[in-house]
Amino acid sequence: MRGGGGGREEFGLSVRRVPRSHLQRAFFQAWLNEKFAPELLESKPEIIECVVEQLDHMEANLKRAKRGDLKVSIHRMEIERIRYVLSSYLRCRLVKIEKFFPHVLEKEKSRAEGEPSILSPEEFAFAKEYMANTEIYLKNVALKHMPPNLQKVSLLKSVPRPNLDSFVFLRVLERQENILVEPETDEQREYTIDLEEGSQHLIRYKTIAPLVASGAVQLI
Amino acid sequence: MRTLYDRNQADVSEAKSGRTDLIFLIRFRHCCLLRNQRCILAYLYDRLLRIRALRWEYGSVLPNTIQFHMSAEEVEWFSRYKKSLATYMRSVGGEEGLDLTQDIKPPKSLYIEVRCLRDYGEFEIDDGTTILLKKNSQHFLPRWKCEQLIRQGVLEHILS
């Protein structure tokens, strides 16, 4: 089929095992969630792999295309946009890893067998190297010159934890019932709320953290 | 810190042998020591965070003026951090890896206006045409081709 549909076939956009719209939606969801969550979220290696594969595919197709074709510019723009979102997502994760490195590593170490990992293997290696690097530096510059009983410092205690009580905006994707909200002050008592699909809320991150992981809400 | 510690140690040994009124002094000195340790570590850690920010702003090679202000251990930390980051960036994103220090802002347009800052010579763009990059010449070029040269300082992005 020539024309619009044929043009898309040419760029291999409809030849995907995962429908492209699903991948894009999941990818953008993961990006926004990661941006607005105060802690490091689960790593999504499958999404990243698919997106990277798609980018490579689009680049390869562009190289083969006719020069001066209008479609080239449009697809080039799309490649740039996807690459920006991918970079932004990975950068956001790296910043969080570096900010909370002892806690992230501790969480990964104490993870149960079946639980999903919050770090990809490469991120784990990066986090370990960062920790070792910082420890060696602090030891060589300061700690080894200090009196004997102060030469160790617990990075787990000194580096601040992510603030899970910070408020986040969210949109509800799947209806939830009976979410327990803990009281903020002593006068209040804990109460339950129902989340209607499509509604938007401003709530403490800790209350809805498991819902973000399961995909029932989207941070905005 | 050493002085505080030595004095404390002397008092600890005295306290062990029976003088309990020294305990408060010992505890006070210990608190001072802990506070000093915290201050020192906070200062050093803050410097590390700034050096890390430099890698993301300036790239792999730091200007000499900045390197002059860094201690030898900081330079070593920086080079180890650089290597660690490079390994990570190479592992993500296909065959060549994905340079995460690019694409900091969302792309607004495909082509950008650039001015050449120094003589570079011939430059070929995608559709085969070559452009002569002479000092102070202005061109309208595709963004992704220019990014590399902008970082090297050969081209300058003109914001109208």
Question: What is the crossing angle of helices B23-58 and B2-16, to 10°?
Answer: 150
**Amino acid identity, position A165:** D
Same domain, B1 and B70: yes
Residues of B in contact with A98 (CB under 8 A): 52
pLDDT of residue A14: 40
Flag whether A146 is in a domain: yes
Flag whether A1 is in a domain: no
**B45 and A48: CB-CB below 8 Å?**
no
Same domain, A28 and A70: yes
Same domain, A106 and A208: no
Query: Which candidate from A53, A84, A122 shows the least CB-CB separation from B103?
Result: A84
Determine the structural domain holding residue A37 and report its residue range.
16-161
Q: Among residues of chain B, what percentage have pLDDT more than 90?
A: 0
ipTM above 0.95, yes or no: no
- Tens digits of residue pLDDT in B59-83: 777 777 778 888 888 888 888 988 8
Q: Among residues of chain A, what percentage have pLDDT more than 70?
A: 86
Q: Is B137 on the interface with A (CB under 8 A)?
A: no
Token pair listed for A150: 């102060």
- Among candidate residues A123, A145, A161, the one where a domain is terminated: A161
Q: How many residues does chain B have?
A: 160
Is there a contact between A13 and A40 (Cβ–Cβ < 8 Å)?
Answer: no
CATH code of residue A80: 1.20.58.1030
Query: Which candidate from A52, A73, A130 shows the least CB-CB separation from B94?
Result: A52
Residues of A in contact with B91 (CB under 8 A): 122
Distance CA A181, CA A192 (A): 6
Tell whether the model's pLDDT for residue A219 goes beyond 80.
Answer: yes
For residue B20, give every residue at least 6 positions away whose Cβ sits within 8 Å of its Cβ, in sequence order, or none: none
Interface of B with A in 56-95 (CB under 8 A): 71, 73-74, 76-77, 80-81, 84-85, 87-88, 91-95
For residue B17, give every residue at least 6 positions away whose Cβ sits within 8 Å of its Cβ, in sequence order, or none: none
Flag whether A133 is in a domain: yes
pLDDT of residue A7: 38
- Give the total number of structural domains in chain A: 2
Flag whether B35 is in a domain: yes
Q: Among residues of chain A, what percentage have pLDDT more than 90?
A: 2
Query: Which candidate from A53, A86, A137 shows the least CB-CB separation from B77?
Result: A137
Collapsing DSSP states into helix, strand and coil, what is residue A215? coil
Same domain, A67 and A132: yes
Same domain, B86 and B121: no
Is there a contact between A66 and B81 (Cβ–Cβ < 8 Å)?
Answer: no
Is there a contact between A205 and A160 (Cβ–Cβ < 8 Å)?
Answer: no
Confidence of residue A11 (pLDDT cuts 50, 70, 90): very low
Flag whether B105 is in a domain: no
Same domain, B36 and B85: yes
Interface with chain B: mutation pick from A32, A35, A87, A124, highest number of B CBs within 10 Å: A87
Q: Quick one: average pLDDT of A92-120?
A: 85
Same domain, A154 and A117: yes
Residues of B in contact with A153 (CB under 8 A): 37, 41
- Among candidate residues A144, A161, A178, the one where a domain is terminated: A161
Same domain, B51 and B122: no
- Tens digits of residue pLDDT in B102-149: 666 666 677 777 788 777 777 777 666 777 777 788 888 777 677 767
Residues of B in contact with A87 (CB under 8 A): 98, 100, 102-104
Tell whether the model's pLDDT for residue A186 goes beyond 70.
Answer: no
- Tens digits of residue pLDDT in B27-64: 887 888 888 888 888 888 888 888 888 887 777 777 77
Q: Which residue of B has its CA nearest to A133?
A: B77
- Give the total number of structural domains in chain B: 2
Between B22 and A22, the more confident residue is A22
Is there a contact between B87 and B57 (Cβ–Cβ < 8 Å)?
Answer: no
CB atoms under 10 Å from CB of A159, counted, come to 16
Residues of A in contact with B45 (CB under 8 A): 134, 138
Residues of B in contact with A147 (CB under 8 A): 1-2, 5, 33
**B41 and A153: CB-CB below 8 Å?**
yes
pLDDT of residue B15: 63
β-pair partners for B140: B113
Flag whether B36 is in a domain: yes
Tell whether the model's pLDDT for residue A4 goes beyond 80.
Answer: no
Determine the structural domain holding residue B152 and report its residue range.
111-157
Same domain, B116 and B57: no
- Tens digits of residue pLDDT in A125-165: 999 999 999 988 888 887 777 777 777 778 877 888 888 88
CATH code of residue A214: 3.40.5.60
